[in-house]
């Protein structure tokens, strides 16, 4: 009986300790902050919100800015982003600066509930105190309060319990702000801060582990920004891999792509289109160039294969009527794709992207190529002007077999060397995805 009593006591103490740890509110440097002084200029806080791309996740096409409601798929079910306007009942209007800081950088709401790591707080943890204060001032003083109830997730019980996330955070979400590298210059460090911190680039471009954690959070690991599949898209490597990364890009190429949404290596699409429309085009030239400098410093992956080289012989074959007459995949290409992308696969300058050497077509997984063929692309909007050309949805014009054949063709032509696409792969994505909106998607900030 004594042993049983001792065991029960140990279990009670352990359970109490576990519950305390899971529900305690972490400390914030703003816990004892004095009342806010003069409001921070609108432009300062709005710029930080652009760096963090807050509007893209916390808004929907036809909803008021920052009122949430965007559906985000996870392996466990769908979660919906929350209202972060300063409405006191349904938003964050009652948050103190310390509570706001804990939500942004530590994933803990004002009521102590843990946030799902779809909120990229493992990256936001690196944000400076000054940027967090500016962001809080922006949402408190410059965003219109809008009442909109938050939507419950579709994750079933018991998987929807939030308290275990405290232990996930302990393992995978270090709580430390960005520390500049002493051996690097200020320009490189600014780029590292933007990419690793508010830009949260690793949320899409870094592979995930078995617990859905980013397997690296900074440049100290070769897995960081090495490419990943997320929500039906392949986010390519942002390291200097020859074929599926930025090895063939110069700093100027990266800068132009982030500034204009297009360049000689491609046009933004998928999640990157949303990031461009709502975030990168609003950054300063210095910040974009610092990002380019940082990304070009990341070593490539030696397993990326021989560097891609264009093969001109393929163009003559594709353009030859006898080839298209006897080769179904070439015939489909010329009928469905050739008018825009050309028999040479090189597109039309910066307006229609090249298929020859495109990272999404050289990638091991063809998910992006399948997705954009089935569902098309939304509108790229630069400087308030929507592009005249965008990829249409072909899901109602092409069978699974046709899509598989034409993508196998473009993934093995003009020097492209990538695995064939199967009908099963196409069928799976057809069932899981929907056509992209053709509306102009630049979300209002205020």
CA distance 244 to 248: 9
The pLDDT assigned to 303 comes to 75
Work out the number of other CB atoms within 10 angstroms of the CB of residue 395: 19
The pLDDT assigned to 62 comes to 83
The pLDDT assigned to 324 comes to 64
The pLDDT assigned to 39 comes to 78
CA distance 54 to 65: 10
Residue whose C-alpha is closest to residue 254's, from 238, 243, 242, 270 = 238
Answer for the pair 74, 212: CB distance below 8 angstroms, yes or no: yes
| Overall size of the chain counted in residues | 446
Reply yes or no: is the peptide bond before residue 127 cis, omega within 30 of 0: no
Q: Domain 313-432 classified CATH 1.10.760.10?
A: yes
Matching fold, domains 186-303 and 313-432: yes
The pLDDT assigned to 20 comes to 47
In order of 31, 193, 289, the CA distances from 286 in angstroms are 34, 13, 5
Give me the residue spans of the domains in the chain. Answer: 30-172, 186-303, 313-432
The pLDDT assigned to 159 comes to 83
Answer for the pair 236, 360: CB distance below 8 angstroms, yes or no: yes
Tens place of pLDDT for every residue, the chain, 446 residues?
665 555 555 555 545 555 445 566 788 989 887 666 677 899 999 999 999 999 999 998 888 999 999 998 887 889 999 999 999 999 999 999 999 999 999 999 999 999 999 999 999 999 999 999 999 999 999 999 999 999 999 999 888 888 899 999 999 998 889 999 999 999 999 999 999 999 999 999 999 999 999 999 999 999 999 999 988 899 999 999 989 999 999 999 999 999 999 998 999 999 999 999 999 999 999 999 999 999 999 999 877 778 899 998 777 767 677 666 668 898 999 999 999 999 999 998 888 999 999 999 999 999 999 999 999 988 899 888 888 888 999 999 999 999 999 999 999 999 999 999 999 999 999 999 888 765 555 656 66
Q: CATH number of 186-303: 1.10.760, 1.10.530, 3.20.20, 1.10.20? A: 1.10.760
The pLDDT assigned to 290 comes to 98
Answer for the pair 58, 66: CB distance below 8 angstroms, yes or no: yes
| Residues in CB range of 389: below 8 A, 6 or more apart | 340, 348, 351, 352
């Amino acid at each position: 009986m004594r042993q049983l009593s001792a065991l029960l006591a140990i279990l009670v103490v352990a359970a109490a300790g576990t519950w305390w740890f899971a529900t305690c509110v972490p400390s914030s440097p703003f816990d004892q902050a004095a009342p806010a002084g003069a409001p921070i200029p609108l432009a300062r806080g709005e710029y930080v919100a652009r760096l963090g791309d807050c509007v893209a996740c916390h808004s929907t096409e036809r909803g008021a800015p920052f009122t949430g409601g965007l559906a985000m798929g996870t392996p466990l079910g769908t979660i919906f982003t929350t209202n972060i306007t300063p409405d006191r009942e349904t938003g964050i209007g009652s948050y103190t600066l310390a509570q706001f800081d804990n939500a942004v950088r530590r994933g803990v709401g004002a009521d102590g509930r843990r946030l799902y790591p779809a909120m990229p707080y493992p990256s936001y943890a690196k944000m400076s105190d000054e940027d967090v204060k500016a962001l809080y001032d922006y949402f408190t003083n410059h965003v219109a309060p809008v009442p909109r109830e938050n939507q419950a997730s579709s994750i079933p019980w018991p998987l929807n319990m939030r308290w275990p996330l405290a232990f996930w955070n302990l393992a995978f979400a270090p709580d430390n702000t960005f520390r500049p590298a002493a051996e690097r210059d200020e320009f490189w460090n600014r780029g590292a801060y933007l990419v690793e911190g508010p830009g949260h680039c690793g949320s899409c471009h870094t592979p995930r582990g078995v617990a859905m954690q980013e397997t690296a959070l900074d440049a100290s690991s070769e897995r960081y920004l090495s490419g990943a599949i997320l929500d039906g898209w392949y986010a390519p490597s942002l390291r200097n891999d020859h074929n599926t990364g930025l090895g063939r890009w110069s700093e100027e190429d990266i800068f132009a792509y982030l500034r204009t949404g297009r360049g000689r290596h491609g046009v933004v699409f998928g999640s990157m289109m949303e990031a461009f429309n709502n975030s990168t085009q609003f950054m300063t030239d210095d910040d974009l160039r610092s990002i380019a400098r940082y990304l070009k410093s990341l070593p490539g992956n030696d397993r990326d294969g021989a560097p891609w080289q264009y093969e001109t012989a393929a163009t003559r074959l594709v353009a030859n009527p006898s080839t298209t007459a006897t080769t179904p995949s070439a015939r489909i290409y010329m009928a469905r794709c050739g008018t825009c992308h050309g028999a040479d696969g090189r597109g039309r300058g910066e307006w229609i992207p090249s298929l020859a050497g495109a990272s999404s077509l050289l990638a091991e997984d063809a998910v992006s190529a399948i997705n954009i063929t089935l569902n098309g692309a939304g509108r790229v909007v630069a400087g308030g002007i929507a592009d005249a050309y965008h990829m249409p949805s072909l899901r109602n014009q092409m069978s699974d077999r046709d899509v598989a054949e034409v993508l196998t063709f473009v993934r093995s032509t003009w020097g492209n060397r990538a695995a064939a696409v199967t009908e099963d792969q196409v069928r799976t994505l057809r069932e899981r995805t929907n056509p992209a909106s053709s509306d102009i998607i630049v979300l209002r900030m205020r």
